[in-house]
Amino acid sequence: MPELPEVEQVRRELAPFLEGARVRDVELRRANLRTPFPPEFRERLLGQTVRALERRAKYLLASLSSGETLVMHLGMTGEFKVDVGRPDADPVAPDRHDHVIFTLDSGTRVTFNDARRFGFMDLVAAGALDAHPTIGGLGPEPLSEAFDAVALAQALRGKRTPIKVALLDQAVVAGVGNIYASEALHVARLSPFRKAATLATPAGAPRETTGRLATAIRQVLQQAIARASRAGYRGARFRVYDRAGEPCLRRGCGGTIRRRTQAGRSTFWCPVCQR
DNA sequence: ATTGAGACCTGTCGGC
DNA sequence: TGCCGACAGGTCTCAA
């Protein structure tokens, strides 16, 4: 499911069940997701209390009483199901894509389901998060103070790739995915095919367009988070994503949304108002 | 050093 | 109905 807003929504839904809860059992229904589970994964989790459930980019981070961090990624299709087990209820037969089942002291069961298995879980030692191969290389969190026109210009400086492709690079901005990259560029009125480096001066300073894009990225992510708490991903409506052939929604534009493949991913844009 | 293509998986949908 | 290809919200690895 997930780009940053959807992962944030998962975090908010899961946090009340996990935070403060102690892990009574962990059932691994297979040996790997995208990568193998770390050694002694189950044993290292047993008896631990989840101090907090946080998010970094598209990663969920459960900090544990030992100081370790349980890192979880949902890939394309990962989701969590919560079963507040009632003693008299019949146990639910696991789905064939239920891969990890956490049982908490309360009896609540949290199940990780992931059809495509592009997700993963890892257990990281205290203080080693920044050295983690995936977490360590992440760029600024787009909804934090660290992300602004200056940071964006710096990251795009000299990049030859199209701006849409650059936005998918998690070292540039952490958490933007294929949908919100297209959405943000439409809000910013910038063509997805524009060379990334044109959004910075040769020295790496921001331009007017850089500020527009940084603002647009924050805006689409924030709106999606606000909407996700009510509608959910499926009901979400996008400005351009998956709207090829339909009219541009910008007032007075009159353009028609088009679709084209960039770096193997679908890009949607309005050729009239995005320059 | 960057950048693009392919790989990893399963499910769904449209066309014939 | 069945089969087949295209496509799906992500990221890693490998070769140019």
**What mean pLDDT, rounded, does chain A reach?**
94
Is A58 assigned a catalytic role?
Answer: yes
Question: For strand B, is any atom closer than 7 Å to the CB of A165?
Answer: yes
Residue among A55, A58, A109, A239 flagged as catalytic? A58
What average pLDDT does this structure show over A174-200? 97
Question: For strand B, is any atom closer than 7 Å to the CB of A194?
Answer: no
- Statement to judge: residues A164 and A263 lie in one domain: yes
In chain A, which residues from 99 to 158 place their CB closer than 7 Å to nucleic acid strand B?
115-118
Predicted local distance difference test score (pLDDT) of residue A1: 66
Answer yes or no: are the C-beta atoms of A85 and A53 closer than 8 Å.
no
- Statement to judge: residues A69 and A183 lie in one domain: no
In the predicted model, is pLDDT for residue A231 greater than 70?
Answer: no
Report the 10 Å Cβ neighbour count for A234.
6
| Chain C nucleotides with an atom closer than 7 Å to a protein C-beta | 7-13
- Which of A30, A65, A32 has its CA nearest to residue A46? A65
Query: Range of A94's domain?
Result: 4-131
Is A159 assigned a catalytic role?
Answer: no
- Statement to judge: residues A259 and A165 lie in one domain: yes
- Statement to judge: residues A34 and A120 lie in one domain: yes
Q: What are the DSSP calls for chain A, one per residue?
A: --SHHHHHHHHHHHHHHHTT-BEEEEEESSSBSSSBPPTTHHHHHTT-BEEEEEEETTEEEEEETTS-EEEEE-TTTEEEEEEE--TTSPPPPPPTTEEEEEEETTSEEEEEEESS---EEEEE-TT-GGGSTTTTT----TTSTT-SHHHHHHHHTT--SBHHHHHT-TTTSSS--HHHHHHHHHHTT--TTSBGGGGB-TTS-B-HHHHHHHHHHHHHHHHHHHHHTTT-TTT---SSTT-TTSBP-STTT--B-EEEEETTEEEEE-TTT--
B14 C1' – A108 CA distance, angstroms? Answer: 41
Is A87 assigned a catalytic role?
Answer: no
In the predicted model, is pLDDT for residue A236 greater than 90?
Answer: no
Q: Is residue A95 part of a domain?
A: yes
List, for residues A28-71, the tens digit of each pLDDT value: 999 999 999 999 999 999 999 999 999 999 999 999 999 999 99
Number of domains in chain A: 2
Predicted local distance difference test score (pLDDT) of residue A88: 67
- Statement to judge: residues A163 and A227 lie in one domain: yes
The end-to-end CA distance of chain A, in Å, is 30
Predicted local distance difference test score (pLDDT) of residue A90: 74
Range of weakest confidence among A10-24, A89-103, A110-124? A89-103
Rounded CA separation A210/A217 (Å) = 11
Q: Is residue A234 part of a domain?
A: yes
Last residue of a domain, one of A76, A99, A131: A131
- Statement to judge: residues A55 and A159 lie in one domain: no
- Statement to judge: residues A122 and A206 lie in one domain: no
Rounded CA separation A154/A144 (Å) = 16
What average pLDDT does this structure show over A143-155? 97
- Statement to judge: residues A93 and A60 lie in one domain: yes
Q: Is residue A141 part of a domain?
A: no
C6 C1' – A65 CA distance, angstroms? Answer: 47
- Which of A201, A204, A179 has its CA nearest to residue A192? A179
The CATH number for A115's domain is: 3.20.190.10
Q: Is residue A140 part of a domain?
A: no
List, for residues A1-21, the tens digit of each pLDDT value: 699 999 999 999 999 999 999
Tell me the nt nearest to A262, Cα to C1': B4
- Statement to judge: residues A180 and A103 lie in one domain: no
The CATH number for A215's domain is: 1.10.8.50
Q: What is the pTM of this model?
A: 0.96
In the predicted model, is pLDDT for residue A273 greater than 70?
Answer: yes
Is A3 assigned a catalytic role?
Answer: yes
Question: For strand B, is any atom closer than 7 Å to the CB of A160?
Answer: yes
- For residue A237, name the pLDDT band (cuts at 50, 70, 90): confident
Last residue of a domain, one of A101, A131, A161: A131
Rounded CA separation A84/A98 (Å) = 16
Predicted local distance difference test score (pLDDT) of residue A233: 45
Q: Is residue A274 part of a domain?
A: no
pLDDT above 70 coverage of chain A, percent:
96
- Which of A3, A180, A175, A16 has its CA nearest to residue A78? A3
Answer yes or no: are the C-beta atoms of A213 and A199 closer than 8 Å.
yes
Residues in reach of strand C, judged by a CB distance below 7 angstroms, are A 1-3, 6, 34, 57-59, 73, 75-76, 116, 118, 133-134, 137, 168, 170, 177-179, 233-234, 264-266
Residue among A12, A24, A157, A265 flagged as catalytic? A265
- Statement to judge: residues A238 and A125 lie in one domain: no
Range of weakest confidence among A59-68, A72-81, A220-229, A266-275? A220-229
- Statement to judge: residues A99 and A184 lie in one domain: no
Q: Is residue A51 part of a domain?
A: yes
